[in-house]
Chains A and B, each alone.
Chain A
Amino acid sequence: MISWKLFSLLVYAAQWTVLYSAISISIGFVMSAGICSATLSRNRALAFAGKLYVSFFRGVPLLVQLLLIYYLLPGVGLDVPSHVAAIAGMALCTSAYQAEILRGGFASVPRGLVEAAEMSGFSRLAIFRRIRMPIAVKLTMPALISEAIMMLKSSSLISVVGVVELTRMAQNLAASTYKPMEIYTAAGFVYLVINLVLVALGYGLEKKLRWGRI
């Protein structure tokens, strides 16, 4: 077993994991809305650019993306701190996944619901705001939450570009205490707890929306 002091260091580092993940998931969500509308756009160049973006960031391992950004930015004269590069990398990656999830959500809004709104005289904007958006978000909520959980776990990779978070802290502690078994088990436990909290949050959020299946 490891001491409470070591464990509390891991818990302390976990707040960076949560913070970096939360920031990149949020930035990624805002970006994904734009990318999703680009892929659905009638402008073919825009739609192609959107699809290319989604394909690239979903097709390259996050680790490679992080290394690329980490080394590319100084190359083009942008000297940013490593945690900023890490957040940028994670946001770019998750935005592609979230855009794809949203696209699926919009595609599965039943056409009849939109037609009913058309027959009621809704404008295109009103249909988007009052009908398509809420239903798409509800439909994609479980997928968005698993993407958030996926991202939280993937944030362990930013340890590679030198950002201190849970995994990096565990690495440091494992090296200095010679107790990798215990330290990494404890770190895994902390990740698990954060994920369970996220799952519970998502479950509560879904329950709050009383309306059921579509």
Chain B
Amino acid sequence: MSLTPAIRVRGLVKRFGQTTVLDGIDLDAGRGEVTCLIGPSGSGKSTLLRCIAFLEEATDGFIEIDGEPLGFAAGPSGERMRLPQSAIRPVRSRVGMVFQQFNLWPHMTALGNVSEALVIVRGMKRRDAEARAMAELEKVGLSGRASHYPSELSGGQQQRVAIARALALEPRIMLFDEPTSSLDPELTGEVLNVMRDLAKTGMTMLVVTHEIGFAASVGAKIVFLDHGKLLVQGTPGEVFGKPRHPRIEQFLDTYLDRGAATLL
């Protein structure tokens, strides 16, 4: 493993008007590792992920993907300069994103959703792109649903298609923004299983989640955010093991029932 982390965040600040959502975040996500971002609602974890996806532009600070600056770089005397669009695109293309609301394009079939970018962005022939897309759908167990429209799929199936869509573009890093939060409990498992399998292949993953069990079992590193600040980070054992940081204790109490919290 090389020394540069897959994602390096330094001094990241994000303000919406008067509200400071991220207040100086420093974070390293190791290559081939699963990093889980947890924390109460409004702690800024989704905003952090969206900044790393460059869907939001941070107010201050720097993000590097595989050692290359994303969006902004330090100038000769340390000042923050916005990079040209042509320098943003290639860095951004290494990152795949899975959304809470799936965001599948409703007017395309599952196959269309996965193959569209291969045709439009990568310039592949429609036939080749669809063959590739089919292979990706196979991996998430949905090759049998290729010709279905999103409205004809369950939430869990939609999210698996969305994962296949992101993977088809061969990202180095996968970002997951609460991927199971809009799913019924019985559909959560199928999505988490796909994510577990993906983690085993050595994909670098950054996951915003409320699934503490998943974070504890799959995460190499747990990062706890609170009020826009990175409060605690470490291995699951360090973060969840006792004695716990009082805020984490409180968080676990609120998000899990007490019985489940004691199991950790």
Contacts and interface: CB of A to CB of B under 8 A. Distances in A.
Q: Are A and B in contact, CB atoms below 8 Å, in the complex?
A: yes
Interface of A: 110, 112-113, 115-122, 126, 130-131, 134-135, 138, 209-214
Given A120-B116, A210-B149, A212-B106, 9 more contacts: A115-B103, A117-B117, A119-B55, A121-B89, A121-B92, A121-B117, A121-B169, A135-B106, A211-B151
Interface of B: 53, 55, 89, 92-93, 95-97, 99, 101, 103-108, 116-117, 120-121, 149-152, 162, 165-166, 169
B151 A112 contact: no
Nearest to B150: A211
Nearest to B175: A119
Contacts of B103: 110, 112-113, 115-116
Contacts of A115: 55, 97, 99, 103
A212 B95 CA distance: 30
Contacts of B165: 116, 120
A112 B116 CA distance: 16
29 contacts: A110-B101, A113-B103, A115-B97, A115-B99, A116-B103, A116-B104, A116-B105, A117-B105, A117-B117, A118-B55, A119-B55, A119-B95, A119-B96, A119-B166, A120-B117, A121-B89, A121-B169, A126-B121, A130-B116, A135-B107, A138-B107, A210-B149, A211-B106, A211-B108, A211-B150, A211-B151, A212-B152, A213-B106, A214-B106
A138 B93 CA distance: 30
A36 to B, nearest CB: 20
Nearest to B96: A119
Nearest to A116: B103
Contacts of B104: 116
Task: Among A130, A134, A138, A213, find the residue whose CB has the most chain B CB atoms closer than 10 A.
Answer: A130
A110 B102 CA distance: 12
A138 B165 CA distance: 23
A122 B120 contact: yes
Going nearest first, the 4 A-B pairs with the smallest beta carbon separation are: A212-B151, A120-B117, A112-B103, A116-B103
Contacts of A211: 106-108, 149-151
A97 to B, nearest CB: 25
Contacts of A135: 105-107
